[in-house]
């Protein structure tokens, strides 16, 4: 659908409308009594969630590409059908192909509480099967209210089982990553900066002082970002995931990432619900897996 058709079919006065965003990519603009949000139909990518009177909770790189075929850096990218690099073919897109395709709007609505919802979907095509030869349906629901709730349903629509890894790769806007504290983590994690060495966090609060790529396993608790600079706490909940990834490239690595400013690492931290590493998902025909995250400012 073009923008006019999207507005005719799915716009809701006082809640949601569709426009061309940066790079001409179609976006849904949501505004209600609770918050404003922007969702790109390219990648089903949540770009912004800003509670009324507050700062944006999500971070998008000012150097991000906004063109088809390239990933958007920041916000909440959808990683499917694999998380990270392809397990055996290095030329395949990092974090899969779902974030590189335009999704379809299937419905919009307003809840009884005055929250705004948009529903998107993506199914297999000849192009996706050339990369990953399986039949699937992804259903993505974003609810914008006092909190931001994002739900990804993954269904095997084929006749053979498949195994996937996935994530909601959330980038959080912070005042200074070197000064925030992250609560709710603990226990053993894989350290991606130390060739997957297993170590253990014993301190109650994580403070960033270097590059981090931690993959906490068996982790299902809420995570809280304490950000004194912005005068807020951001609570990150999740379901359908036993891996929580904490990522910040820090100074040296950031200089080798073309779509993040050299000092951009100070402006974000990634806290990601994932099914990866020790928590892969196998789906029989007709089976569905659901991964979700909820984000609220306190």
Q: Where would I find the H helices in the chain? A: 3-10, 126-131, 250-254
Q: How confident is the model at residue 222 (pLDDT cuts 50, 70, 90)?
A: very high
Q: What is the pLDDT of residue 88?
A: 86
88 burial class (0-12, 13-18, 19+ CB within 10 angstroms)?
Answer: exposed
248 burial class (0-12, 13-18, 19+ CB within 10 angstroms)?
Answer: buried
Q: What is the pLDDT of residue 297?
A: 98
Q: Fold for domain 3-297?
A: Beta-galactosidase; Chain A, domain 5 (2.70.98)
Q: pLDDT for 162-173, tens place per residue?
A: 999 999 999 999
Q: pLDDT for 246-258, tens place per residue?
A: 999 999 999 999 9
| DSSP letter, residue 58 | B
pLDDT at 90 over 90: no
Average pLDDT along the chain: 97
Set 45, 134, 169, 219: catalytic member: 169
Q: pLDDT for 60-79, tens place per residue?
A: 999 999 999 999 999 999 99
Q: How confident is the model at residue 10 (pLDDT cuts 50, 70, 90)?
A: very high
169 is catalytic: yes
Set 115, 139, 212, 272: catalytic member: 272
Q: pLDDT for 100-124, tens place per residue?
A: 999 999 999 999 999 999 999 999 9
Q: pLDDT for 130-159, tens place per residue?
A: 999 999 999 999 999 999 999 999 999 999
Q: pLDDT for 178-204, tens place per residue?
A: 999 999 999 999 998 887 689 999 999
The arithmetic mean of pLDDT across residues 27-50, rounded, is 98
Buried/exposed code over 270-295 (b: 16+ C-beta within 10 A; e: otherwise) = bbbbbbbbebebebeeeeebebbbbb
Which three-class secondary structure state does DSSP give residue 109?
strand
Are the C-beta atoms of 45 and 142 separated by less than 8 Å? no
Q: How confident is the model at residue 1 (pLDDT cuts 50, 70, 90)?
A: confident
């Amino acid at each position: 659908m073009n923008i006019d058709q999207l507005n005719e079919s799915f716009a809701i006065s006082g809640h949601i409308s569709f426009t061309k965003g940066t790079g001409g990519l179609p976006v849904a603009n949501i505004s209600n009594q609770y918050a404003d949000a922007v969702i790109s139909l390219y990648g089903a990518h949540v770009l912004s969630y800003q509670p009324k009177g507050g700062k944006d909770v999500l971070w998008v790189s000012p150097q991000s590409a906004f063109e088809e075929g390239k990933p958007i850096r920041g916000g909440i990218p959808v990683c499917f059908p694999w998380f990270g690099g392809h397990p055996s073919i290095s030329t395949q897109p990092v974090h899969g192909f779902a974030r590189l395709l335009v999704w379809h709007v299937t419905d919009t609505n307003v809840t009884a509480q005055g929250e705004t919802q948009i529903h998107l979907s993506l199914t297999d095509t000849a192009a996706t099967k050339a990369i990953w030869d399986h039949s699937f349906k992804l259903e993505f629901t974003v609810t914008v209210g006092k909190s931001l709730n994002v739900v990804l349903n993954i269904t095997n629509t084929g006749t053979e089982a498949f195994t996937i890894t996935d994530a909601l790769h959330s980038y959080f806007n912070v005042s200074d990553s070197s000064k925030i504290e992250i609560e709710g983590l603990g226990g053993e994690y894989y350290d991606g900066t130390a060739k997957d060495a297993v170590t253990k966090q014993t301190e109650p609060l994580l403070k960033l002082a270097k590059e981090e790529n931690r993959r906490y396993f068996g982790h299902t608790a809420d995570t809280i970002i304490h950000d004194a600079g912005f005068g807020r706490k951001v609570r990150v909940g999740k379901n359908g995931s036993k891996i929580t990834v904490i990522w910040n490239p820090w100074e040296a690595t950031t200089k080798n990432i073309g779509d993040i400013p050299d000092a951009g690492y100070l402006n974000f931290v990634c806290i990601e619900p994932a099914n990866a590493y020790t928590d892969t998902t196998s789906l029989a025909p007709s089976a569905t897996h659901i991964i979700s995250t909820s984000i609220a400012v306190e």
